[in-house]
Structure 1
Amino acid sequence: MSHDTVTGAIFAAVPDHARPMLTYYNESTGERTELSGATLGNWAAKIANYLRDGLGLAPGDRVRVDLPEHWQTAAVLLGAWWAGVAVDLSDDAADDRATFTSRERVDEHDTDEVIAVPLDPFAMGVRDLPVGVEDFGESVRAHGDQFVPAGSGRDAVDEVTVAQVLSAADGGLDPADRLLSTRGWRTVTDVVANLAAPLLSGASLVVVAGGVEDSRLRAIAETEKATVVRT
């Protein structure tokens, strides 16, 4: 696996691909989804293959990601970075080739390709999509779960470069840690600090979204055997 991409470096830092790498809680919906390094890697590979083989994107191309914190969002980011594709979070990017967004926001985007992401536990199909909008599950599942990158563009997310993200590994964590975090991924700073940096350290990440009381957060931390909690 090439370490020249952000995703390659992230998976290279994982000490055991059979252990949980990302666990996602949404307290509003009751969802808990746990993905091992192998499973998250398979999803990232499918997305990278889809971007390269399905949409014809090459390293240095750009996609827009307009999604909340979710395990599928993490898979999209990892897939894009593995394909060498930069991710734009801002609305003012003019050269995005595709957009990943929720069903509720598909009408907000007019890139060549718009992909509706279900944001459910199993990546099931999205119903009643407008003409021209692709369903994430249907589009991605058909692609292979192994990926060999062809290189990387300059940027990883907005104007933050691949090199800058690769240098951002969280020095306060190590591969033995299990980080429970309620911190967001909505800005470029947050994506780097709260998603990429912990994963680059090799730590396992437990993401709690949807708002949670302190007592519930303590209970989740105990259940998940978290060694570090960040809110």
Structure 2
Amino acid sequence: MSIPAIELMTSLRSGHSTSPRLTWYGPDSERVELSGRVLDNWVAKTGNLLQDELDAEPEMRLRLDLPVHWKSMIWALAAWQLGMETVLDGGEADLLVTDNPGTGAGTYDAVIAVALPALAMRWPGELPAGVIDYAAEVRSHGDIFMAHSDPSGSGFAVTDRRGTRHRHADLITGFSAPHDEGVRLLVTAGDGLEAALANCLGAWHGGGSVVLAHPEVQLTDQLLAAERIQGT
């Protein structure tokens, strides 16, 4: 049974390697643009961190406690490529990925702190004992991901905010939001992480690309025209 996330990463890596697939507009005029190749590179490095440093494997659960952000997309794709389940409803999980690392001590096998600024090379300040600094660790991991264990499409990929669990094989047909082929899609952070993940998956599955925008970003006509936004 196939894993749509693996097929998606193959498509981004091969068919859209140099064109923008994910563009982020954040606070303080922050703009990050990831081509298919660069997006795949980040996902591979994050998957290797999960697999090699945290012994992550298929069917383990990862709580994704992050706001809508380009790094949230990276983490979800890395977990899905491994055959893990991302937990969005705050339920029990093996690992916690968060931008607020003071809240998960003792509850998870490991806590990973994610600094959100694009140029962050490490977490700003002291981290609780045992918490892993994503920004400091991820760059040392390999650019190519090869799973140690083959994931199964019958395993769960995501638990949504209502507690509904979606299997890997149904990630596109049951969880993602459908969009036109080749769409340049605006996804606003105010709609929440679950909606952002579903919309990004739907756009990428159809060969499209995504512009993610933080709530503080003013979506001017000039910005929308410059990014060639086609749908919302």
Matched, 1:182 2:188: yes
How big is each residue's C-alpha offset from its partner over 1:180-231, in whole Å with a ceiling of 9 and x where there is no partner?
Answer: 221556454x255322222222211111112445xx3322111112222x1x
Q: CA distance change for structure 1 residues 45 and 123 in 2, over 3 Å: closer, same or farther?
A: farther
Alignment of structure 1 residues 1-231 onto 2, 5 Å: 4-14=2-12, 15-26=15-26, 28-93=27-92, 96-102=93-99, 105-109=100-104, 110-126=107-123, 127-149=125-147, 150-153=149-152, 154-158=155-159, 159-167=165-173, 171-175=178-182, 177-182=183-188, 184=190, 186=192, 188=194, 190-213=195-218, 216-228=219-231, 230=232
1:13 Cα deviation (Å)?
A: 3.8
1:152 Cα deviation (Å)?
A: 2.2
CA distance in 2: counterparts of 1:88 and 1:101, whole angstroms = 12
Question: Please, which moves more after superposition, 144-153 or 177-186?
Answer: 177-186
Structure 2: give runs of 5+ residues left out of the alignment. Answer: 160-164
CA distance in 2: counterparts of 1:227 and 1:53, whole angstroms = 40
Letter in 1 for 2:142: G
CA distance in 2: counterparts of 1:191 and 1:225, whole angstroms = 19
CA distance in 1: counterparts of 2:196 and 2:230, whole angstroms = 21
SS of corresponding position for 1:167: helix
CA distance in 2: counterparts of 1:184 and 1:165, whole angstroms = 23
Question: Please, which moves more after superposition, 73-82 or 120-129?
Answer: 120-129
How big is each residue's C-alpha offset from its partner over 1:82-136, in whole Å with a ceiling of 9 and x where there is no partner?
Answer: 111111112222xx2211100xx21221312111101111342003111111100
Instruction: Report the TM-score, using the length of structure 2 for normalisation.
Output: 0.85
Letter in 2 for 1:112: D
Percentage identity across paired residues of the two chains: 31
CA distance in 1: counterparts of 2:139 and 2:64, whole angstroms = 19
RMSD after superposition: 2.1
Letter in 2 for 1:210: P
Letter in 2 for 1:148: M
C-alpha contact 2:94 2:109 (8 A) present in aligned 1: yes
Please list every run of at least 4 consecutive aligned residues from structure 1 whose deviation after the TM superposition is greater than 6 angstroms. Answer: none
1:55 Cα deviation (Å)?
A: 0.8
Structure 1: give runs of 5+ residues left out of the alignment. Answer: none
Matched with 2:162 is none
SS of corresponding position for 1:115: strand
Instruction: Report the TM-score, using the length of structure 1 for normalisation.
Output: 0.85
CA distance in 1: counterparts of 2:49 and 2:73, whole angstroms = 16
